[in-house]
Amino acid sequence: MYFLIRVAYDGSKYYGFQRLKENNSVQKSIEDALTIINKKRVVVKGAGRTDRGVHALDQCVSFKLDVSINEEGLRKALNSLIGPYIYVKSVEIVDSSFHARFSVDKKMYLYKINLGEYNPLLSDYVYQCKYKLDIDKMKKVAKKYIGIHDFSNFVSGERESNECIIYDITFEKKGDILEIRFLGKSFYRYMVRNLVGMMIEVSRGKEDISKVETMLNAKKDLPSITAPACGLYLEKVFY
């Protein structure tokens, strides 16, 4: 049977999603639990590889099991084995052709910034910015990102193409917390954090907005500013 699970996790407790040889990861924790249930090694596929310190509210994971088990039984069994920093929200039976990563239609990422007084209880869950930010300037930068662009100057790693599409970027202030949401087809490593980093640099007057246009139209030769991992969440995956 083939399954899709939607999970939330506290990224501050793991060395990222992807399985590592030595350090604890979200993928390893899920695979170890599924292997106990399946009584045979299970390998899972995630919708995205969140980095160390990055959280998820709706990471999606697909896999195959040899044992017969219903959706609710699997959800309860997994949650009894992987808590307390990973939680399986839902389980769905899917077709054998389904792939958590390659079947994705859109993803939404959320970035949180504390604009108020430093709060030690939030240190792992928001970027506690020490600068006074001009949100209107940040919105102007965000408009430059929307559409199809070559994001080579905003990503890490090598691939054939860094071209992708961002459909929308929205801003919402909840008390002292600024929430920025990015909706797009795909996002590469450090991309959202670098996009936020440039917003902040322009907002505080360290960079001119014209540099954003230059970075979007040039190959990878301009350094980007990376916002901290603690403020980033994979909020929703759409299929």
* CATH code where residue 113 lies: 3.30.70.660
What percent helix, strand, coil does the chain show, rounded to 5? 30, 30, 40
Per-residue pLDDT at 20 exceeds 90: no
Q: What is the mean pLDDT of residues 71-90?
A: 97
Is 177 in contact with 230 (CB distance < 8 Å)?
Answer: no
Question: How far apart are the C-alpha atoms of 203 and 58, rounded to whole Å?
Answer: 30
66 catalytically annotated: no
Q: Which of 86, 198, 185 is nearest to 142 (CA)?
A: 198
Active-site option among 10, 32, 51, 58: 51
Per-residue pLDDT at 21 exceeds 80: no
Domain boundary among the residues 66, 94, 122 is at: 94
Structure confidence at residue 34 as a pLDDT band (50, 70, 90): very high
pLDDT of res. 83: 86
pLDDT tens figures, 156-212? 887 888 899 999 999 999 999 999 999 999 899 999 999 999 999 999 999 999 999
- pTM for the model stands at 0.94
Per-residue pLDDT at 219 exceeds 90: no
Least confident interval from 18-32, 55-69, 127-141: 18-32
Domain boundary among the residues 67, 94, 121 is at: 94
Total structural domains in the chain? Answer: 2
